[in-house]
Structure 1
Amino acid sequence: MEKTILLVEDDFLNRRFTKKILSENGYAVSEAKNSKEALEILQKESITLAILDINLGENEQDGISLGLKIKEKYQIPFIYLTAYENQEIIGKAVSTSPYSYLTKPFKNSDLIASMEIAIRQSAYFPKQKHFINVKEGEYSVKLDEEKINYIESDGNYLLLYTDDKIYKSRSTIKKILSEISESTFVQTHRAYIINKNKIEKFSNRNIIIKGNLIPVSENYLDNVKQFIR
């Protein structure tokens, strides 16, 4: 299976140099020059590992903030590349639990070794479960989002389909999108969100999950294609 690396580096020459190393070693590379572009890629693509430069131009520690977001929301391994040797900045970076920290200039072999170690180590650690609170009658239930096959909007309510039952919760598509993992769920239609890990078949018009046909509208098609490729 091809490994896709997210490379976040604001300096064009450094980004091109690092991308060349990765490509020559058989990795697919998605590039971003700032945190905003990186988060857009993470939302759309399946990333194996992220390489983050700590200094992303406008904010000298923006890479650390991005690392924290990746740790909390996307749960993929990441490593830092930096020219910093300041102990305070190093301490802040280490607090986000990167899998490695390389100081520029680095050896090509050190970068590849750090990446492979990070990818292999991350496979041994179970991903943290994400729960969302849904109402079930008068009770509030903590629902493991991995159990959700897809979500359908029904007026002022959402229907959350699992293998066992359908949960009905008073909420909106916009609200629940802010609560569930962007690396697992994608909106396919103004009224539907699907769990990409539950897809059985898909076309440009529909996705099949557990024998159910979920529509894919033209407005969301490009995003869906990038997300499940």
Structure 2
Amino acid sequence: MSTMQSVLIVEDEMIIAANISMQLNHLGYHVNGIIPRAEEVLPHIKLQVPDILLMDINLKGEMDGIELAGLIQNEYKIPIIYLTANADEVHFNRAKSTNPYAFISKPFKKIDLQRAIELTIIRVAEEKNSKPNEEIPNEPFMLSDSIFVRHHDKMVKINIHDILYIEAERNYCKIHCKDKEHLIVSTLKDLEEKLTVNHLMRIHRSFIVNLFHIDEIANTHVVIARKAIPLSAELKKQLLLHIQKI
């Protein structure tokens, strides 16, 4: 029996997922769960954190496995092993940026799964024996002119002036800047309560915008960096009044 107790399988092809689960059981691991949809993973992890995450890259739906891995890493330090039938350069480079512990190409044999997990266990043990880093907070925190968000094992500074708009996507937010996007684990409501600058304003249930970057205001939307962002009818008057004051 391995020192790793549990493995969570994120795979939308249930026949493959069931086969992986059976092989893991034969190898002496506990299957923490089988989840086919990306949006179900974080709620599951909040209830029961696995020791290892087996993640299919090509999940069906709005979010693929690489995007999901980035979200998970904002909040948890769980070793990720990618499963993929598509090993092209673009997918590999995107996946590599999330620092996975291993890749397993489909179709794979039981020995491939066994070796990937064993190597992950060894690497985790080595990391635990190395000098621990200072604890990095999960929650973003605000300064007067910037936001610090977690990215892997460090906090990254985002200048508020560089924020174009913030978009809500279920239980996380995507901060769109001039040259980059940042995913953070937070609801838009929670983030709105923490923001104190008067030029960041919520104009729709799913969007906060930087008033300085608005290029056009129409009846039903505003335009920022060529992106049409919906504008709630009840907030349009408030937006126009607010713009005149800044």
TM-score normalized by the length of structure 1: 0.54
- Which protein shows a greater Rg? 2
Distance 1:22 1:100 in 2: 16
Say how many residue pairs are matched: 138
Per the TM alignment, residue 119 of structure 1 is displaced from its structure 2 partner at its CA by 2.2
Distance 1:10 1:71, change over 3 A: same
Flag structure 1 segments of 5+ consecutive residues without an equivalent.
135-173, 180-229
Distance 1:75 1:31 in 2: 19
Q: Which of 27, 30, 39 is 1:28 aligned to? A: 30
Asked whether the 8 Å contact 1:55–1:63 carries over to 2, the reply is: yes
Distance 2:134 2:11 in 1: 28
Distance 1:28 1:130, change over 3 A: same
Distance 2:89 2:134 in 1: 30
Q: Which of 74, 77, 80 is 1:75 aligned to? A: 77
TM-score normalized by the length of structure 2: 0.51
Per the TM alignment, residue 175 of structure 1 is displaced from its structure 2 partner at its CA by 5.4
Q: Are residue 50 (structure 1) and residue 23 (structure 2) matched?
A: no
Distance 1:127 1:45 in 2: 24
Distance 1:31 1:84 in 2: 21
Aligned to 1:120: 122
Aligned to 1:129: 135
Distance 2:39 2:133 in 1: 24
Per the TM alignment, residue 127 of structure 1 is displaced from its structure 2 partner at its CA by 6.1
Asked whether the 8 Å contact 2:10–2:56 carries over to 1, the reply is: yes
Flag structure 2 segments of 5+ consecutive residues without an equivalent.
143-188, 195-246
Per the TM alignment, residue 26 of structure 1 is displaced from its structure 2 partner at its CA by 1.3
Asked whether the 8 Å contact 1:6–1:38 carries over to 2, the reply is: no
Aligned to 2:149: none
Per the TM alignment, residue 107 of structure 1 is displaced from its structure 2 partner at its CA by 1.6
Q: 1:132-143 maps to which residues of 2 (within 5 A)?
A: none
Distance 2:94 2:134 in 1: 22
Distance 1:58 1:130 in 2: 31
- C-alpha root-mean-square deviation of aligned residues, in Å? 2.7
Asked whether the 8 Å contact 2:51–2:79 carries over to 1, the reply is: yes
Higher relative contact order (CA 8 A, sep 6+): 1
Q: Which of 13, 17, 41 is 1:11 aligned to? A: 13
SS at match of 2:18: helix
Distance 1:124 1:19 in 2: 26
